[in-house]
Amino acid sequence: MKTNYDIVVVGAGPAGSMAARFAAEQGVSVLMLEKDRDVGYPVRCGEAISKAGVEEFIPSDDKWIAAKISKFSFNAPDGSEAIIDFGDAGYVLERRSFDYELARTAAEAGAEILTRAYVNGLLFDDGKVSGVKYEINGEQKEVKAKIVIAADGVESRVGRWAGLETHVDFRDMESAVQITAANIPVDQSTLYFYFGQDVAPNGYFWVFPKGHNKANIGLGVSGLIGKKKSAQSYLDDFMNKHYPNAPVLTKIAGGVPCSITLDKISGPGIMLVGDAARQVNPLSGGGIASGMIGGKIAGTIAGEAIKQNKLDHILTYDKAWNDRLGKRHETFNRIKEGIYNFSDDKFNSIAHSILKIPIEKRTLGKVFTTALINNPSLLVDIAKVFVV
Amino acid sequence: MNYRQAKNGKLMIEILPDKCDFCGCCVGVCPEDAIELKEAEIFIIDERCTNCAKCVWSCPIEVIHFNKEGVLAK
């Protein structure tokens, strides 16, 4: 292995792999370091994504599709369920296989990959990031790089070592716990969302099918809620109520930074992508597609910077990201702040309004306008979102 | 009694590593970069910790506790 690369990527999740791939495709040398022993595991994710979000990067493949999704089920606190059909639009992934395949595309483009390589510091040269320090098999090592791309997830420590402000306000951290359970007899093409103070205050509880009556089930709670009651405790309550005897195949904790993107996601020799840059869609908490987009933009710009021998070019990444998604996330974040503060009564009345629309006419647009017409106060909330 | 020392007095934040899932929520919210997390290893860097408790509130599975008495050194 070399000790000098054009680009080192820290973290081999979807954002890291896409950064590595789009840089390596330009013929520059790329090394991607992963702290865990496996790329793609453990899975800390609800695993749902739109088909379009995937297919920008990799053709759909049944080996990492656990379920094909065509419907939403909106479950209000009073038990009302409104189902909305939106066509052939999404997947529940098998992230373990999916991340693996994404890393393969990076490898095919020419990136080198090293697992169990724990990055624990940065190298600097004249104030610019110039490589990373890492531990592997108990040995401390160093590797030089012209550009370091930090895809180190919710922890986002590499960015702070580089001098960027990366820590998440505890109110924006959705601390999540998720299980994969068997014998969950739900429709295998529907994503189920549950709302309400007792179920998932300031967020939603999800039950996402994974084929053969397996399901990815979980929720995230903000640090403000977590002060009083943990995500684990909400999950236990839900499972005891709905599926008391379901065998649990996996259980894991995770964190979703549900905020707008960091003020700065690039600096001298450093770029941040994915959760590390807070590129999660703050409304849905989804971060796979947006992380891959962030990775693609960063990897492309980093490759160009190396080829043109113009390292300052990486500073254009902030604007490129903001133009593609960052600004949209600011709007989503305002909507989130409106919706997640709704009372149980309001969630109930929205469900009742949707149920009045014949199921074949329940397009998302129609649902949205009906919810507004029947809940004038909702209109005020949405207006607030856009007026600010 | 020999207590662990945080930046501003006794360390009062206690992580129970045997129960930890190593998810990184606490690391993400820590304003002081005072938590070290490897693949399956976690610990507080005592001299950086200010006992602010944000990690306690952000832990999804109640692995981090606030111990008013202070955390004893081993």
Distance from CA of B71 to the nearest CA of A (A): 20
pLDDT at res. A233: 97
The letter for the amino acid at B44 is: I
List, in order, residues 6 or more apart from A302 with CB less than 8 Å away: A7, A19, A23, A28, A147, A149, A271, A314
Rounded CA separation A384/A329 (Å): 16
Domains (range + CATH), chain B: 5-66 (3.30.70.20)
Are B24 and A118 an interchain contact pair (Cβ–Cβ within 8 Å)?
no
Tell me, what's the pLDDT at A325? 95
Q: What is the pLDDT of residues A270-307, one digit of tens each?
A: 999 999 999 999 988 999 999 999 999 999 999 999 99
pLDDT greater than 60 at residue A89: yes
Q: Which residues, other chains included, contact A165 with Cβ-Cβ below 8 Å and sequence gap of 6+?
A: A262, A263, A264
Residue A257 touches partner B, C-beta closer than 8 Å: yes
Contacts of A164 in chain B (CB under 8 A): none
Q: Which of B29, B33, B38 is nearest residue A173 as measured by Cβ atoms?
A: B29
Contact A37, A113 (CB under 8 A): no
Instruction: Find the range with the poorest average confidence among A216-225, A296-305, A362-371.
Output: A362-371
* Measured distance CA(B30)–CA(B34) in Å, rounded: 7
Contact pairs from chain A to chain B, CB under 8 Å: 88
> Which residues, including other chains, have CB under 8 Å from residue A361's CB and lie 6 or more apart?
none
Structure tokens at B61: 């599975």
Spell out which chain B residues touch chain A, with contact meaning CB-CB distance below 8 angstroms: 21, 23-25, 27-31, 33, 37-39, 54, 57-62
Instruction: Give B11-67 pLDDT, tens digit per residue.
Output: 999 999 999 999 999 999 999 999 999 888 999 999 999 999 999 999 999 999 999
What integer pLDDT is reported at residue A375 of this predicted model? 64
Judged on CB neighbours under 10 Å (0-12, 13-18, 19+), B63 is buried
ipTM of the complex: 0.93
Residue B4: pLDDT band with limits 50, 70, 90: very high
* Proportion of chain A above pLDDT 90, given as a percent: 82
All domains of chain A in start order, with CATH: 4-44+96-170+262-330 (3.50.50.60)
Q: Which pLDDT score, from 0 to 100, does residue A388 have?
A: 41
Q: Report, as an integer, the average pLDDT of A84-100.
A: 90
What per-residue confidence (pLDDT) applies to A383? 57
CB-CB under 8 Å, A253 with B21:
yes
